[in-house]
Amino acid sequence: MAAKKPRLKVIPLGGLQEIGKNLTVFECGNEIIVVDCGVAFPEDEMLGIDLVIPDFTYLQKNRNKVKAVLLTHGHEDHIGSIPYFLREFDVPIYGTRLTLGLLENKLKEHRLNPPLHVVTGGEQVKFKNFTVEFIPVTHSIADAVAMAIWTPVGLVVHTGDFKIDYTPIGEHINLARFAELGKEGVKLLLCESTNVESPGYSMSERTVGQIFHRIFDDSNNQRIMVATFASNIHRIQQIINAAVKNNRKTAVVGRSMENAVRTASELGYLQIPKNAMIDISEINKYTDKQLVIVTTGSQGEPMAALSRMASGEHRQVEIKPNDKVIISASVIPGNEKTIGRVINDLMRLGAEVIYEGPEADIHVSGHAKKEELKLIHALLKPKYLMPIHGEFKHLKLHKDLAVMMGMNKKNVFVMNIGDVLEVTDKFAKIEGTVPAGQVFVDGLGVGDVGNVVLRDRKVLSQDGLIIVVVTMERETSMVISGPDIISRGFVYVKESEDLMDEARLVAMRALEKCERNRISDWSYIKNLMRDTMKEFVWHKTKRRPMILTIIQTVD
């Protein structure tokens, strides 16, 4: 019999037609390798949810095939789900030094100790069906890599998140290696799409440093605070450099910021001059013109340090009228209201606030814009393309860009999570789907909150709750006491006594109807009271609160 031709399956379980929880499965024969394993942050309607992680069902069904997780960089949307993944799988994790350094902080919190393998640019890791090479790229975090993945059906390139910065703070993107891979022949390219809508080239990170120096020079006697992403080590480095040049001490506040600075400093990614940094508890020993405070909260997160300062709830830092606050981050879609609220609160306290706009280039993106994407396409010349890392519009526009550059539109696959792209030496096509979606993390619970619970939370948040409590004799089903009406989030009882009395009468009539008809089925009694109360409340208030009926029994 002829040998079965090899087939590669590429299965995105996150990161397509959404922002966050990036996870891509590469499967060939009896082997699976996983690239990235990130989280998404809950949307407004996900009440009470802390994190959103990918659905690992497909991997669980094929757990014996899973050989490793390989990480492109240390952002939350690429590494944040690993502690939850490791509850199910015991496999090694590969990443660069900073990526694994940031990951270790998470693993310690979850008391996990998987095998971690540090890789460097140019290094290759070999599996039975895969050979993976890590290629240095520039991004808004140090130590980011793309991956060249040799498979039995050809070469696959996964760009990870990248930009092309000719004057970076850290390592340059290895464009020469991309060109070599293009000459070798790239079967499939998975390329990020985040900034495909933006024309031209992204600005260099170094330009932000120049802006910081100018702002610091003009701040005279003001205390300076800078809110940025904790993982943006290059940005933090430039803040420290500007502070040293202006004879200021730097303090960091916020748990994630403290962890990132400590880890990056220990690993040598942050160069901090001696005595340049102080603990946040020491800021009262210095005058305003001697201080720079670097803080979390650039997205207006309610519990982040900047939000607590703006609301006057931070224990160590109080906003003063002379303060200058720089928000050095672009607003992630969906966070406009929260960061706007923080800016308003800061200004209300008298602070001068500088945030991204046409006159304040205090942030540059870490994602490739249109001309940078074109360059990567021109260097790699892939036969097939899977746009990744973006909403549907980003993936569709990336397809249009590739077609404009000469790719056959049939060779560009705009996919959804769970779609299976099957690649052979002859063809590539979408062949079926696997389980994929969102798993909610709420406190210590993982996956125990679903759409039904979220729907109930939404009802409770919008219309409140009414509880009808009745005590009945077990044998005869006679009413001993009640019905009592308890209301939460529906109306203020003390101001609505007439409505509550009328509701009590409605519940009583429902019970009397059951007594007259000698109905002793408690399930029927509870449903009748609930339905009768629901109809009464809607008629009286045009509201639909959640209604619970409770029957207590006595012997």
Q: Are 536 and 517 in contact (CB under 8 A)?
A: no
Cα torsion for 288, 293, 296, 297, to the nearest 10°?
A: 20
Q: Are 413 and 385 in contact (CB under 8 A)?
A: yes
Distance from C-alpha of 447 to C-alpha of 52, rounded to nearest angstrom: 9
Residue pLDDT, tens place only, 194-237: 999 999 999 898 888 888 999 998 888 899 999 998 889 999 99
- Measure CA 514 to chain center: 52
Mean pLDDT of 123-152: 96
Domain assignment of residue 456, yes or no: no
Full domain range(s) for residue 223: 205-355
Strands 145-151 and 131-136 come out as antiparallel
Last residue of some domain: 335, 355, 375? 355
pLDDT for 359 beyond 70: no
pLDDT for 295 beyond 90: yes
The lowest-confidence range among 124-128, 228-232, 394-398, 435-439 is: 435-439
Contacts of 196 (CB under 8 A, 6+ apart): 369, 370, 373, 387, 390, 394, 397, 398, 401
* Better pLDDT: 340 or 181: 181
Residue pLDDT, tens place only, 7-21: 999 999 999 988 889
Helix axes 392-404, 370-380, angle to 10 degrees: 50
Cα torsion for 181, 182, 185, 187, to the nearest 10°?
A: 90
The lowest-confidence range among 178-182, 415-419, 445-449 is: 445-449
Residues 350 and 383 in one domain: no
* Better pLDDT: 343 or 548: 343
CATH (domain of 140): 3.60.15.10
Residues 24 and 107 in one domain: yes
* Better pLDDT: 137 or 301: 137
Sign of CA dihedral 521, 524, 527, 530: negative
* Better pLDDT: 50 or 48: 50
- pLDDT value of position 542: 76
The pLDDT-based confidence of 301 (bands split at 50, 70, 90) is confident
Mean pLDDT of 17-28: 93
The lowest-confidence range among 36-45, 252-261, 528-537 is: 36-45
Domain assignment of residue 86, yes or no: yes
Domain assignment of residue 453, yes or no: no
Q: What share of the chain is helix, strand, coil (3-state, %, to 5)?
A: 35, 25, 40
Residues 40 and 139 in one domain: yes
Domain assignment of residue 455, yes or no: no
Residues 380 and 423 in one domain: yes
Strands 224-227 and 324-327 come out as parallel
Contacts of 452 (CB under 8 A, 6+ apart): none
DSSP 64: G
Mean pLDDT of 75-82: 92
Average of per-residue pLDDT values in the chain: 87
Strands 8-14 and 419-423 come out as antiparallel
Residues 434 and 311 in one domain: no
DSSP 171: P
Mean pLDDT of 497-520: 78
Amino acid, single-letter form, for residue 492: Y
**Residues belonging to the chain:** 555
Domain count for the chain, please give it.
3
Count of beta carbons in the 10 Å neighbourhood of residue 285: 10
CATH (domain of 293): 3.40.50.10710
pLDDT for 442 beyond 80: no
Residues 270 and 405 in one domain: no
Distance from C-alpha of 13 to C-alpha of 417, rounded to nearest angstrom: 5
Distance from C-alpha of 373 to C-alpha of 153, rounded to nearest angstrom: 25
Sign of CA dihedral 366, 387, 31, 180: negative
Sign of CA dihedral 439, 443, 445, 451: negative
Percent of the chain with pLDDT over 90: 58
Residues 345 and 299 in one domain: yes
Residues 175 and 250 in one domain: no
CATH (domain of 477): 3.10.20.580
- pLDDT value of position 453: 56
Within the chain, what is the greatest distance between any pair of CA atoms?
88
Structure-token pair, residue 260? 């990132």
The lowest-confidence range among 178-182, 441-445, 466-470, 539-543 is: 441-445
Domain assignment of residue 212, yes or no: yes
pLDDT for 308 beyond 70: yes
Distance from C-alpha of 113 to C-alpha of 100, rounded to nearest angstrom: 12
* Better pLDDT: 473 or 309: 309
Q: Are 470 and 511 in contact (CB under 8 A)?
A: yes
pLDDT for 335 beyond 90: no
- pLDDT value of position 1: 45
- Three-state DSSP at 412 gives strand
Mean pLDDT of 347-367: 82
Mean pLDDT of 252-256: 91
The lowest-confidence range among 78-87, 238-247, 446-455 is: 446-455
Angle at 170 between CA 164 and CA 175, to 5 degrees: 35
Residue pLDDT, tens place only, 182-195: 999 999 999 999 99
Q: Are 10 and 300 in contact (CB under 8 A)?
A: no
Residue pLDDT, tens place only, 466-501: 888 888 777 766 777 778 887 777 766 666 777 777
pLDDT for 383 beyond 60: yes
Domain assignment of residue 281, yes or no: yes
Mean pLDDT of 27-55: 80
Domain assignment of residue 451, yes or no: no
pLDDT for 406 beyond 80: yes
Residues 97 and 233 in one domain: no
Q: Are 8 and 415 in contact (CB under 8 A)?
A: no
Distance from C-alpha of 528 to C-alpha of 508, rounded to nearest angstrom: 11
Out of 16-30, 432-446, 513-527, the most confident range is 16-30
Strands 291-295 and 249-253 come out as parallel
Domain assignment of residue 454, yes or no: no
Residues 427 and 526 in one domain: no
Q: Are 191 and 162 in contact (CB under 8 A)?
A: no
Residues 192 and 211 in one domain: no
Contacts of 542 (CB under 8 A, 6+ apart): none
Last residue of some domain: 333, 355, 377? 355
Backbone φ, ψ for residue 89 (5° rounding)? -130, 140
Q: Are 59 and 96 in contact (CB under 8 A)?
A: no
Question: Residue 213: enclosing H or E segment and its boundaries?
Answer: helix 205-217
Q: Which residues is 8 bridged to in the sheet?
A: 28, 423
pLDDT for 91 beyond 50: yes
Q: Are 79 and 102 in contact (CB under 8 A)?
A: yes
- pLDDT value of position 486: 78
Count of beta carbons in the 10 Å neighbourhood of residue 445: 10
Q: How many Cα atoms are found within 13 Å in the side-chain-facing hemisphere of 254?
A: 28
The pLDDT-based confidence of 456 (bands split at 50, 70, 90) is low
Q: How many Cα atoms are found within 13 Å in the side-chain-facing hemisphere of 485?
A: 26
Distance from C-alpha of 29 to C-alpha of 20, rounded to nearest angstrom: 29
Distance from C-alpha of 514 to C-alpha of 196, rounded to nearest angstrom: 66
Sign of CA dihedral 80, 421, 96, 301: negative
The lowest-confidence range among 34-48, 105-119, 161-175, 197-211 is: 34-48
Percent of the chain with pLDDT over 70: 91
- pLDDT value of position 55: 87
Residues 336 and 210 in one domain: yes
Mean pLDDT of 81-86: 92
Last residue of some domain: 446, 474, 498? 446
Distance from C-alpha of 49 to C-alpha of 39, rounded to nearest angstrom: 12
